[in-house]
Amino acid sequence: MLNKIISSKDEKISSFWIFIDSLTSSETKSLGAGNIATLRKAAEILSKIGVQEASILPITSRARGIASSFSNDSAYAIDPSILNLYQVSEIKQNNTFMNIIDRISLELPDSPVSHADYQRAINISIMREAYETLSVLLRTHKVFSERTIAFENFKKENQHWLPQYATFNALKKEHKDLPWYQWEDKDNYRNFNSSQIQDFIEQNSYEVDFWMYIQFELSLQVKDFNNYAKTDLNLETETFVGVGISRDSAEGLFMSELYDDSMQIGCYPEPENGYPLQLWGFISPIPGSKYDDYNAGRYNYLKSLGFDKIVGDHGAGMFGGYTTFPFEITEKLLLTVDPEKSRFPELFKTLANRKFVNAGDYPAATEALGKWAFNPGDEENRHLNAINVMKEFIKKGIVPIVETVGDYNRRIAAEMAVAFAASQGFHIETMRAIPWESSHLNMFLGLDRLALTHDMPSFSNILTDKRGPHELGQSIDNISGLVQRLRVPLTKADLPLREENLSASLFRIMYTNLFRGSTAGVVSMPFASLFNTLPKHANNGLYQNANVLPGTGGEFDNPMRNWINRMPALEYLYEDNHMETLRTILDRNNPILSDGYQSLYDDGHFQAIGSKITKPTDVPVLITESNKNLFPHHNIGEFAFWPIHKILEKEICIEGVEDSLSLSLVPIYELIVSNLNKSKDETSWKTIQLNEAGIRADKDYVFLDIRNNEAYVKNGLQLLNEGLTVGLNGNSKRHTHHFVVFEIQ
């Protein structure tokens, strides 16, 4: 039943992901990373450039040392690092607290990397002092103000998770912050309803209540932000639910009936994308109604904080089946492997002499012990599972946005689940990496979303065929297809790009075609990408991704600085009228009708691509030695925009024409032709047929080569009969013609 068209909106939506840690503002006080205050500043910018949606990467709690916002140690709790201390009532009313925070902020040097761990520690430390103020009112004076009553109500409304979370943190403090599975007395605490736990809570009620107080204040600040975004900025908000929870969590300690704490979710290596074996440290859920209820509660809690939409991370696994790996390699697991039949026989023989080892220390063995929920080929059961999981979500009143980036089989299963929900009349979106690919979801208007997600290779990675230390090994055909679709004026002769090609102008070209050329209902991109459009901050595409180097570590000490790069101050986006530039790039109400450059010819030696010009526009051009004098403010290898209307206002040096200004010229076509043979240092000739260019026999045409700063007049009848013959040397700097074709009226 795939004949329904479901859409709650006719307009096309622009959305930006915001990783709070990475935000910097010159107008807010920083203690090492972004917080709720800087988030408000980012939302204000999105509203001013015409964006309709702010998408906040997971705000749930993270363990110390973890930079990735998707690595959570609680299903519900918000991370204390994002707290804005200046917004806390008990702090605002105390000048001593305010002065301490001011002094700490002034002592912190500006840093290009996040210090969220440090900020979290300061926040918790000062909140302890603030809680003492509230606690005295409650415990000593029995004063029940509006705020203390709200705190007590918050505790009652969140009984299904808050006491466990707060008690777990109090126990961690008691055990010197060791993971619970390393506690000698851990068996005393596995049952939350046991007398040992209840005795501990009674004896440590102040500490338990303190952790509840932090969550209370965070919930108020998140609600306040969401209300401000909707009411004052006309901005919808969404956030993500991570794929699972760390083993070292309240869920891992107290909820063994819901979580299998011997297994973790992960991903097999993807060497073609530069990914090693990924162990996400997440607990594998045990399917059943109790887990479904608890999981549904996560979505509903975030909804109660004011988010309009909730995104389910790793939808390919959620619906198509997770891949699991052992948390520890035990003797029992080793007995399941025949070393002689393994790809790693010597390793398994060595491990056989060990009682157990940390799986993360032996990735080869861990990979060999991984399991699919459904083996490749078992697609009938995979699809049935996908539909059943979606039915459970719908039964709980939840229709998540589904991120489907993943391997083919699981992605198809996830998209089937989305299609099922749509066929039932629900508005639902799916995040896909390439929204113009063929998909059975295309018949559902407005469901698809172009998602340059936190873990998708960035354009800068693809175009340069590198990701950090990895060679991606992308074929030139794949790279060429991408740049043509994004209307970047390059052929295979120019690819892969060099870092100096990654200019602000290139990103402006790509982003314009992504936002205004995509048919997707929603186009999403990391907020940091906006800085790529600023010449002084483009920095070779550094800010293309939310986490700059996918597939590398998510810890703060990872050598590639993954997840910890901070943006320049948000206020730079206001300089030089750049907000107007961004409004133009993101104006989805003014779509670009072109499908990019179309392939005209490609025999491996010559390549020709072209595109009709339907209205005067700014033509992107690569700066070369030949046209550098026309673009004095750009470097060779960068891109610039050549405005057609300004071209026609100036004298053009056209072969055989004395006065170009006397001509009435109408732009009709853009043509790029390249000699791909870089091994021969000689000129070769090729004739290109221009059947799609709209050439008329009774007209003459000016071919203006904007890459080489030359122009020629051609007769229409001759072009139709004989085509356009070009001569190019693939081994020289003149290996490409980039023509704008004008019809002489």
* Prediction pTM value: 0.89
CA nearest to 169, candidates 130, 120, 136: 120
CA nearest to 288, candidates 318, 257, 311, 319: 257
How confident is the model at residue 435, as a pLDDT? 47
Confidence of residue 558 (pLDDT cuts 50, 70, 90): low
Q: Is the pLDDT of residue 185 over 90?
A: yes
The structure tokens listed for 571 are 């206020």
Same domain, 295 and 337: no
Same domain, 74 and 181: yes
Cβ burial, residue 113 (10 Å; 0-12/13-18/19+) = middle
Q: Is the pLDDT of residue 443 over 60?
A: no
Across 152-166, 438-452, 536-550, least confident range:
438-452
Residue 555 domain-assigned (yes or no): no
Same domain, 616 and 665: yes
CATH of residue 187 = 3.20.20.80
**Of 357, 372, 387, which residue constitutes the final position of a domain?**
372
Same domain, 224 and 353: no
Counting Cα atoms < 13 Å in the Cβ hemisphere of 182 gives: 9
Same domain, 647 and 738: yes
Confidence of residue 642 (pLDDT cuts 50, 70, 90): confident
Same domain, 442 and 368: no
User: Three-state SS across 261-303?
Assistant: EEEEEEECCEHHHCECCEEEEEEEECCCHHHHHHHHHHHHHHH
**Of 420, 451, 482, which residue constitutes the final position of a domain?**
451
Q: What angle do CA 454, 459, 460 make, to 5 degrees?
A: 105
Q: Is the pLDDT of residue 543 over 70?
A: no
Q: Give the structural domain span for 152.
A: 13-325+376-451
DSSP H or E segment with residue 422: helix 408-423
Radius of gyration of the chain (CA): 29
Same domain, 310 and 334: no
Across 116-125, 295-304, 448-457, 646-655, least confident range:
448-457
Across 202-211, 328-337, 595-604, least confident range:
328-337
Residue 574 domain-assigned (yes or no): no
Same domain, 215 and 292: yes
How confident is the model at residue 433, as a pLDDT? 59
Which of helix, strand or coil describes residue 546? coil
DSSP H or E segment with residue 421: helix 408-423
Q: Please report, in angstroms and rounded to a whole number, the separation of the first and last CA atoms in the chain.
A: 54
**Tens digit of each residue's pLDDT (9 = 90 or more) over 98-157:** 888 888 877 666 677 888 999 999 999 999 999 988 777 666 655 568 888 899 999 999
Confidence of residue 4 (pLDDT cuts 50, 70, 90): very low
Residue 591 domain-assigned (yes or no): no
CA distance 503 to 131: 50
The structure tokens listed for 719 are 């072009």
Neighbours of 612 (CB within 10 A): 15
CA distance 484 to 670: 12
CA distance 371 to 299: 28
**Tens digit of each residue's pLDDT (9 = 90 or more) over 464-516:** 776 554 455 666 777 787 788 778 888 898 888 877 788 888 888 888 888 88
**Tens digit of each residue's pLDDT (9 = 90 or more) over 368-392:** 888 899 999 999 999 999 999 999 9
Same domain, 153 and 280: yes
Q: What angle do CA 542, 623, 540 make, to 5 degrees?
A: 5
Same domain, 348 and 432: no
Across 228-242, 346-360, 493-507, least confident range:
346-360
Q: What average pLDDT score do residues 246-269 get?
A: 89
Structural domains counted in the chain: 3
How confident is the model at residue 488, as a pLDDT? 86
How confident is the model at residue 272, as a pLDDT? 59
DSSP H or E segment with residue 310: strand 309-312
How confident is the model at residue 651, as a pLDDT? 61
**Tens digit of each residue's pLDDT (9 = 90 or more) over 560-612:** 566 778 888 999 999 989 999 999 999 988 887 666 788 899 998 999 999 88
Confidence of residue 445 (pLDDT cuts 50, 70, 90): very low
Same domain, 119 and 182: yes
DSSP H or E segment with residue 259: strand 259-267
Residue 460 domain-assigned (yes or no): no
Query: Which of 100-114, 212-226, 541-555 has the highest average model confidence (pLDDT)?
Result: 212-226
Residue 75 domain-assigned (yes or no): yes
Residue 227 domain-assigned (yes or no): yes
Across 47-61, 377-391, 464-478, 675-689, least confident range:
464-478
Q: Is the pLDDT of residue 722 over 50?
A: yes
Who's near 523: CB < 8 A, 6+ residues apart?
12, 13, 14, 15, 435, 449, 450, 514, 515, 588
Residue 422 domain-assigned (yes or no): yes
Same domain, 349 and 410: no
Mean pLDDT rounded to a whole number for the chain: 83
Residue 557 domain-assigned (yes or no): no
How confident is the model at residue 472, as a pLDDT? 56
Residue spans of alpha helices (H) in 8-139: 36-48, 89-92, 95-107, 116-135
What percent of the chain clears pLDDT 90, i.e. is strictly above it?
39
How confident is the model at residue 8, as a pLDDT? 39
**Of 418, 451, 484, which residue constitutes the final position of a domain?**
451
